[in-house]
Structure 1
Amino acid sequence: MDDDVTTALVTGANKGIGYAIAEHLGARGMRVLVGARSDAGRDKAVSRLRASGVDAHGVRIDVTDDRSVAQAAAEVEERFGRLDVLVNNAGVSGPFDPVTWTQDPTTLDLDVVRQVVDVNVYGVVRVTNAMLPLLRRSPAPRIVNASSSMGSLGRQPGPVMAAYAPSKTFLNGITTQYARAFADTPIIVNAACPGLVATDFNDFAGDRTAAQGAATAVRLATLPDDGPRGGFFEDAGVVPW
């Protein structure tokens, strides 16, 4: 493979914000790896991206499965040799009340909390650590974690979401620890809030497009070497933690 081409892996890139991130990174000339569990969804996304001129390739990955993540890392190494950008976009909300759009902490099923954290936090750690040897081969590695302002303890927007919101708070904390660990390396890691985007994640109730939601993640994925580290950002700037 051409060593001059920047290679980016986006998890959960078969639809929604993840697809938009892949599309915009591809438009910037990057080779985009569409990470997704669904073979059909992944193949469809790759075909759409290629039709728009993006150098897109599919990578099967289930962020909750150690073996799947290890196999994905081995595949990326075999096919592309290194990884320059990792966008940990895959995420879930967990079930919520369809009328109030809430997850009540007083009645919350602990299995729901475990499932949400397994994807939104453990999945990020699992994928990041598996891809880290490949990222270290890049001259300018970037990691972006898809967070939400609902994880902000200062802002606390939206309905009570006792599984989803704390998972993003947890993710923000993990992001800062990675940034501290990478302080003396070229690896830059940050968290991005896309805003309330209309996707099937929220039954298309958002007021922003997927392209708008992708903008901050794309900016953080393409930071210069002196860019910020360990921050939490949205379109308007820093999100209060």
Structure 2
Amino acid sequence: MTVALITGATQGLGLALVEGLAQRLEPTDTVYLTGRDANRVMTAVRSMPGGGARVRGELFDVADPRAAQQLADQIEERHGGIDIVIGNAVMRVGPDDEPREIIDHYTQVNNFGTTRLLRAFAPLLRDNGKLLVVASSLGTLHHLAPVLHERFTTPSTLDEIDEQIARWRDAVKDRRVSAWPAFVNIPSKIGQVAAVRVLAHQRREEDARRGILIASVCPGMINTPTSALWWDVSTAPTPAQAATAVLDLALDPVKPEQYGELIRDGEVIPFS
């Protein structure tokens, strides 16, 4: 029996990932649809078409420091482990948002939420399991001033990644941004990709033996209302279309060259 979990799954790409994954799996399998609002989770579960895996709603606020471990403990008790985890929860920002006002919650969701997810669920992965973090091609050092590169290349633990994100957060709050890009998505996405790389480095040998994939994934531009605030997305793929490549990565046999990397449409995007 396959057990899967998707975070940030009540709308957009997350909802499409749940629906697509459930349709590709069997009735004996379970896909957890998670979100931080009970009514939206219930509505999303009810919107699922019949057939395929069972879709089970679960409250999960990734900004809550205790929530990831609590949910991981519950899933371990129910199932003994997990096969697929896709971290998709994200706090979206618009052009009119003031970075100093949103940066605390933004980092709690996008960055500390990611590292807590990695810590809690990586130990539960069964053989041939997949742990994917939805990031972006913005999460590469190409988009960051060279003077800042070592902030994300030298850490060797998730705690050290968290420390770098906290330093960036505090710089934004204190208006000491200096070389940091004004667009908060860039350091945030780089932090997510760097966290995946650090965890993968720690687990590489054992995961290779067990057929496990840990990676970040770029779904590309998606036609959503939030993306439309920043770019012309009229010709971009729908969430359902963008979900296809992510689901392929989650279900296809592991390719060793993808381990620990940022993947888009099956291809590695170099971090530096």
TM-score interval (norm. to shorter): 0.7 to 0.9
Moved more, 194-203 or 173-182: 194-203
Is the CA contact (8 Å cut-off) linking 1:46 and 1:58 kept in structure 2? yes
What secondary structure, in the 3-state scheme, does the structure 1 residue paired with 2:45 have?
helix
The higher radius of gyration belongs to 2
Deviation digits for residues 191-231 of structure 1 (CA, Å, limit 9, x no counterpart): 11111112243258531110222123212212424442011
Instruction: Give the alignment partner of residue 17 of structure 1, picking from 13, 16, 20.
Output: 13
Q: Equivalent residue for 2:31?
A: 32
- d(CA) in 2 for partners of 1:120, 1:56: 24
* TM-score, with length taken from structure 1: 0.82
* TM-score, with length taken from structure 2: 0.74
Instruction: Give the alignment partner of residue 220 of structure 1, picking from 249, 256, 259.
Output: 249
Residue 33 of structure 1: how far off its partner (Å): 0.5
Q: Equivalent residue for 1:125?
A: 115
Are the structure 2 counterparts of residues 58 and 132 from structure 1 closer, same or farther at C-alpha, using a change threshold of 3 Å?
same
What secondary structure, in the 3-state scheme, does the structure 2 residue paired with 1:150 have?
coil
Q: Equivalent residue for 1:143?
A: 131
Are the structure 2 counterparts of residues 196 and 122 from structure 1 closer, same or farther at C-alpha, using a change threshold of 3 Å?
same
Residue 91 of structure 1: how far off its partner (Å): 0.9
| Structure 1 runs not aligned, ≥5 long | 98-102
Is the CA contact (8 Å cut-off) linking 2:245 and 2:266 kept in structure 1? no
- d(CA) in 1 for partners of 2:85, 2:38: 20
- RMSD between aligned residues: 2.3
Kindly provide the amino acid, as one letter, of the partner of residue 221 in structure 1: A
Kindly provide the amino acid, as one letter, of the partner of residue 128 in structure 1: L
- d(CA) in 1 for partners of 2:45, 2:238: 20
Is the CA contact (8 Å cut-off) linking 1:12 and 1:35 kept in structure 2? yes
- d(CA) in 2 for partners of 1:200, 1:75: 34
Higher helix share: 2
Deviation digits for residues 16-66 of structure 1 (CA, Å, limit 9, x no counterpart): 101111112112214211111111111122122253544111111010112
- d(CA) in 1 for partners of 2:52, 2:266: 30
Does 2:102 align with 1:112?
A: yes
